[in-house]
Structure 1
Amino acid sequence: MQVLLTGGAGFLGAWICRRLSQRGDRIRIFDRAENRNIIAAIAGAPAAAACEWVIGDITDAEAVATAASGCDAIIHLAGVLTWACQENPARGAAINLIGTLNVFEAALRHGIGKVIYTSSAGVYGPQSGALPVPVSHYGAFKLACEGSARAYFADHGLSSIGFRPYVVYGPGRESGLSAGPTLACRAAAHGETYDFPYEGAAGLVYVDDVAAAYESALRHDAPGAHVFNMIGEQATPENVIALLRELAPDCDIRPGGAPMPSAPEIAEGPLREVLPDVPFTPLREGIARTFSFYRDGTL
């Protein structure tokens, strides 16, 4: 299978490349610059070298369409995070919303029957984990993408699967508010002090589980415009710190920070009914794997 992976140079893209390359898929990465370092660290140097690379901007509809030519499916990861949307909402909308529309339009142009894209648990505001009422520009743009995906299926029969991961953690996740658990693991492994950037409970989902969900979505025929929550295991920074102290008793990791902008309790929903082979990594195991990566360089 030939797969276009937008935003593939990042953390999640590297883990998806790891899984797809192991299955023998051909990967074409569309990103603003060519940087294979994270992919090499996570998927290995041969997998990184095998990726075809197309440099372009997700806001450029023609560039996206050109990159999608000859592909069987699109996995759309390109986007900017909460703080960037807050600082410049118009730019955030151009990248996160218009960029997503460009991906769907490219799929239509080339007869690609499936788009797999990244939404976010940020579509839920802090007051409700059942009704999506975002309080950030980032969450609002992601919710709009979900609505557009439904419109593409209603208007054109173009199927899609969107994922709403909560806090994704694991080797390589080193930017954004929700990078706290991963950066805490890195600090503990290196003997450094670290203060969590957020407080309160959140669903922590191990990165390879998320990558496996994208891989599963490629393999399963699920007509429609689906959106699935990916929650993992609910935990507080204090829970993560307790697990790290079992691995590094003298680590200096401290709780604190601002409240998460999403509700603490969000149900997973029907994810495993449609994609039954998506794995679940317990928090204890995921934290241990992440700690080992930063201490020993092993996955």
Structure 2
Amino acid sequence: MSLFSPAKPALTIRLCEPRGFCAGVDRAIQIVVLALKKYGAPVYVRHEIVHNRFVVQGLQERGAVFIEELHEIPPEHRERPVVFSAHGVPKSVPADAQARNLFYLDATCPLVSKVHKQAMRHQRLGRHVVLVGHAGHPEVIGTMGQLPDGAVTLIETEADVHGFMPVDPDQLGFVTQTTLSVSDTAGIIARLQERFPAIQAPSAESICYATTNRQEAVKETAAGTDFFLIVGAPNSSNSKRLVEVAERAGAKRALLVQRAAEIPWDEIETIGTLGLSAGASAPQIIVDEIVDAFNARFNVSIDLAVTAIENENFPVLSVLRDMPLVPADMAFVNGNA
């Protein structure tokens, strides 16, 4: 009987680049980390700062307290900072914070804020605003909450376009959620422009660079893969879109996972090529965890698929810039020390 284990099967991992954190997500997490360093615990955070439980739990361990509404902050803690999530909030939320004399830090992604401004510009010019997005998503709630009730119509599908009956078809302007599928959104916009030729586009692209780049990387990588894993949370819009893109682009199967423990190992024992990417709110440390899990079972070679170089950096709020941010502060998500 041999004392040696059988050789591990060979596996090529096509690792997408760019992947994982975008500049807006990184900035939002930094804001919470720096607020904890500057003001101490607890720091309250309204809604998940980003859609990733690993990140949320890591911040909780450092003293962040996550709430859904401002009234959950105990009266004795009203002097403590409260951070608004990267997804953005309706105008009513900072107004409520001011009414309660709360000290708040707005971590809304600058690209989401840009969509808010584009929607408000449409309305200022007398246009009814059409928002292409997913009902109930925090970003959509925040964008619709920038304008008065009735000023925005949400469109989710091309079928919704067919049923849309505006009061004045010649006074329309559209914006989109930043994390949508590029191809799906293009179809909806084309249908809107076909039905309403006078509809005005935003002054700049609404879907953010990171969403587009991650989708393009997956699209370029998916063909010929036996399995494609997307690291991300089930409530992360951009992560779910990456699964759809992988399947459409030729992956035999694509799956969203939050951690290595969710990988269905019994279903992928014989694969030869794996695609791997991560949504914009998924930390690099989980990607590393998944690569290590495959290394334990396969003889892995990494094929780095680079389709774009990202060097965007969104500065944190000015009130926090006096606090030094060192690599150890972000080690819980980046894996460095």
Greater relative CO, 1 or 2 (CA 8 Å, sep 6+): 2
**Structure 2 length normalisation: TM-score?**
0.30
- Higher CA-based Rg: 2
